[in-house]
């Protein structure tokens, strides 16, 4: 089994790289006290392209990508760069969360992205 190339897709955008460097973390969590801003991502659902005569030829995976920053301006810049990276890779995406976390006071914009890939 393999997961979509989320890290590589996001790192293809120079604004993402200049904003977060390598601070892109799987499993929806980042190390405690990590430098801000950063990105987390996780697999929401994965669906094979089933057919009757053979094994599935591909998968459609929904990924949630969360952008985290200390300021409203920084979160918008980062989320726009993430969306641009997804758009450039022709990956369908949509904003699903735009909030400020009560405990951490970090701004958060989350996108869902549909990665479609061959097996």
Distance between CA atoms of residues 69 and 74, nearest Å:
6
Cα 79 versus chain centre, distance: 10
Question: Over 70: is that where the pLDDT of 41 sits?
Answer: yes
Encode pLDDT of 46-90 as tens digits: 888 777 777 777 788 999 999 999 999 999 999 999 999 999 999
Average pLDDT, the chain: 93
Q: pLDDT band at 103, cuts 50/70/90?
A: very high
Q: What is the pTM of this model?
A: 0.91
């Amino acid at each position: 089994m393999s997961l979509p190339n989320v890290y590589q897709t996001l790192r293809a955008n120079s604004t993402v790289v200049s904003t977060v460097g390598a601070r892109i973390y799987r499993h929806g969590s980042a190390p405690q006290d990590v430098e801000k801003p950063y990105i987390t991502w996780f697999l929401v659902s994965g669906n094979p392209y089933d057919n009757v005569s053979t094994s599935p030829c591909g998968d459609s995976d929904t990924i949630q990508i969360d952008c985290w920053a200390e300021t409203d301006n920084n979160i918008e810049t980062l989320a726009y760069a993430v969306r641009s990276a997804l758009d450039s890779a022709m990956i369908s995406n949509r904003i699903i969360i735009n909030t400020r976390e009560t405990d951490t006071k970090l701004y958060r914009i989350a996108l869902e992205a549909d990665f479609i890939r061959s097996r």
